[in-house]
Amino acid sequence: MIALNDEQTMVLEMVRRFAREELAERAPEYDKRGEYPWPQLRKMGELGLLGMNTPEAWGGTGLDAVTWALVMEEIAAADPSVAVIFSVTSGLPQYMLLRFGSDEQKEKYLRPLAEGRWIGAFALTEASAGSDPKGLKSTAERVDGGYRLSGVKSWITSGGQAQLYVIMARAPEGITAFLVPAEAEGLSFGEPEEKMGLHAAHTTEVRMDGVFVPEADRLGEEGKGLHYALAGLDSGRLGIAAQAVGIARAAFEIARDYADEREQFGRKIREFQ
């Protein structure tokens, strides 16, 4: 057990209330309809939850990693789809921008993400490049003033919903990360994939058909994109673990409550244990 400080206790109480009142009740309906949970995400933005790891100077709330993991656990216990979207937008694009972005990029892209006005997506995976992303085939051809991106990304969380896509593609010097706004010409999205769960967290293809990205929107150095992406994924793993804990806890609590309510042979079934 870790002892929580006053700030962590306060944040956790606020998030538990929010998760109970705003997420848990709506989660089954959103999941059934496969509807992206914009109202819930907007509320999280207003509460300062979508930019928890980003310093206040860039629009976030600048809380520590332990608080982020505790919040993730609570959100996942109430609505795993919201937790996945939350994990990606705060753990990947914001983390990568904060660590590797220029001040101009932080102002333009990190601030709206951290303030919760935008949702960010991370596009690394391709049909033939999953666990082994260095095999990715999307290209970034150098052109006057920037690059042209072509290729197809698979399984992108918040595809078609996010306002910013951090896309890894192969430039002349190697895999490079690019900051691509949703409205970029030549960028399009597939339909949400059919999954076994997490239906409200849309997962789609992201298609690039000669998308022009100005030099100013290349993240960091050319050829360093895979390193940046893996650094982001490393930080994100903590969030995935916290989600698993939250989901397991919620499953246990639901089963425990049911065992306390269901009767067979004239007794509550938990009494047979």
Q: Contact between 182 and ligand FAD (CB under 6 A)? A: no
Q: What is the b/e burial string over 62-79, where b = at least 16 CB atoms within 10 angstroms of the residue's CB?
A: ebeeebbbbbbbbbbbbb
User: For the window 65-104, what string marks contact with ligand FAD as x by the rule CB under 6 A?
Assistant: -----------------------x----------------
Candidate residues 125, 138, 204, 243; the one interacting with ligand FAD per rule CB under 6 A: 125
CA atoms within 13 A on the CB side of 193: 16
Examine residue 264 and tell whether it contacts ligand FAD (CB under 6 A): no
CB of 108 to ligand FAD, least distance (A): 21
**Which range of residues in 121-129, 136-144, 177-185, 260-268 is near ligand FAD by CB under 6 A?**
121-129
Measured distance CA(216)–CA(104) in Å, rounded: 9
List all residues 6 or more positions away from 156 whose beta carbon is below 8 Å from its beta carbon.
Answer: 121, 122, 123, 125, 165, 203, 204, 205, 206
Taking CB under 6 A as the rule, does residue 30 contact ligand FAD?
Answer: no
Q: Which of 16, 146, 155, 221 binds ligand FAD (CB under 6 A)?
A: 155
Report the DSSP beta bridge partners of residue 150: 139, 209
CA distances from 69 to 84, 114, 160, 221, 252 (A): 13, 17, 27, 30, 19
Interface residue with ligand FAD, options 1, 3, 131, 196 (CB under 6 A): 131
Minimum Å distance from CB 113 to ligand FAD? 14
Binding footprint of ligand FAD, residue count (CB under 6 A): 12
By the rule CB under 6 A, 157 interacts with ligand FAD: yes
**Please, are residues 114 and 44 in contact by the beta-carbon 8 Å criterion?**
no
Binding of ligand FAD by 123 (CB under 6 A): yes
Six token digits for residue 219: 């993240």
Q: Comparing C-alpha atoms, which of 93, 106, 53, 151 is closest to residue 85?
A: 93
Q: Does 198 bind ligand FAD (CB under 6 A)?
A: yes
Question: Could you list the residues that contact ligand FAD (CB under 6 A)?
Answer: 88, 122-125, 130-131, 155-157, 198, 203
